[in-house]
Amino acid sequence: MTELPLIGEAVAVAAHPRLAGAKIGVVTFPGTLDDRDAARAVRLAGATPVELWHAGTTLGDVDAVVIPGGFSYGDYLRAGAIARFAPLMSKIIDAANSDAKLPVLGICNGFQILTESHLLPGSMIKNDHLKFMCRDQVLRVENNTTAWTGDYAAGQEITVPLKNQDGQYIADEKTLDALEAEGRVVFRYVGFNPNGSRRDIAGISNAAGNVVGLMPHPEHAVEAGFGPELGSGTEGLGFFTSVLNKIVGDNK
């Protein structure tokens, strides 16, 4: 892992003596791209990242798991479809559904893997305009009670990078209505819908709120000088501090 900082000051925002002991697993599949950025975001938030390999059969003692973006297994068959059956995924699915409700965050390809795993409903298809798109994207935090959004204000708008080709979130109307009614639409695109997602949905959660998936990339907006020019550039860091505060809170 690269030593901090590359540029600017690396500040652990949620500084808490117990946070550094928190371990966040970051999964790497063949074709994962953003695992190093996700691990760096975990470290910047004040916790310890733990590398998890897709073929592994144990999660060790991690307190939460991030499934980062990329093109796992080349996106062959469908995005996330083959990764979903990796040995480590069955452990993650069991832990997410267990009484302990392991916090799991799926970003971009990680979100696709979570829908293929049926941890989250719906699916992603090709962007309605058919092009790969990379831009700084404004999101509204619709639900700040999940394991990954507690440090945001409800209705807060944040800017993080978005980059995908298969980012159009779809589900049947009944599922969409249920997601809305249960407050499980966690993020919505603001100002511009970059991929034709139903009801401007950028991210959702499971019923318990421990599993969250979204297409945009909070882990690319955690460090001054590297993030979006709009806003502070570090508006994605709240995902990682949120889950740490959740872990510390649960362990009181």
Partner 1 sequence: MPRIVVDVMPKPEILDPQGKAIVGALPRLGFTAFSSVRQGKRFELTVDGEVTEEILAQARDAAETLLSNPVIEDVVNVEVVEA
Give catalytic residue positions: 108, 217, 219
Instruction: Name beta bridge partners: 136.
Output: 161
The H or E element spanning position 177 is: helix 173-181
Q: Binding residue for partner 1 (CB under 8 A) from 126, 144, 182, 231?
A: 126
Beta strand pairing call for 211-214 and 201-205: antiparallel
Cβ atoms within 10 Å of 134's Cβ, excluding its own: 13
If one asks whether residue 198 binds partner 1 (CB under 8 A), the answer comes out as: no
Smallest gap from Cβ 123 to partner 1, in A, equals 4
CA-to-CA dists, residue 80 to 41, 105, 240, angstroms: 23, 14, 23
Cβ atoms within 10 Å of 173's Cβ, excluding its own: 9
If one asks whether residue 183 binds partner 1 (CB under 8 A), the answer comes out as: no
The phi and psi torsions of 170 (rounded to 5 degrees) equal -135, 150
**Residue closer to partner 1, measured from CB, 130 or 181:** 130
> Is residue 216 within 8 Å of residue 139, measured between CB atoms?
yes
| 3-state DSSP assignment of residue 93 | helix
d(CA 169, CA 175): 12
Smallest gap from Cβ 125 to partner 1, in A, equals 6
Residue 183 burial (C-beta neighbours within 10 Å; 0-12, 13-18, 19+): middle
**Residue closer to partner 1, measured from CB, 47 or 162:** 162
> Is residue 237 within 8 Å of residue 221, measured between CB atoms?
yes
**Residue closer to partner 1, measured from CB, 37 or 116:** 116
Instruction: Name beta bridge partners: 124.
Output: 169
If one asks whether residue 171 binds partner 1 (CB under 8 A), the answer comes out as: yes
**Residue closer to partner 1, measured from CB, 112 or 159:** 112
If one asks whether residue 81 binds partner 1 (CB under 8 A), the answer comes out as: yes
Q: Binding residue for partner 1 (CB under 8 A) from 127, 149, 206, 210?
A: 127
Q: Binding residue for partner 1 (CB under 8 A) from 37, 63, 75, 116?
A: 116
Q: Binding residue for partner 1 (CB under 8 A) from 78, 133, 224, 231?
A: 78
If one asks whether residue 170 binds partner 1 (CB under 8 A), the answer comes out as: yes
If one asks whether residue 85 binds partner 1 (CB under 8 A), the answer comes out as: yes
Q: From the DSSP assignment, how many helices (H) and strands (E) are in the chain? A: 5, 11
**Residue closer to partner 1, measured from CB, 77 or 208:** 77
Smallest gap from Cβ 185 to partner 1, in A, equals 17
Q: Binding residue for partner 1 (CB under 8 A) from 5, 13, 48, 123?
A: 123
Binding site residues, partner 1, CB under 8 A: 77-78, 81-82, 85, 115-116, 121-123, 125-128, 130, 168, 170-172, 196
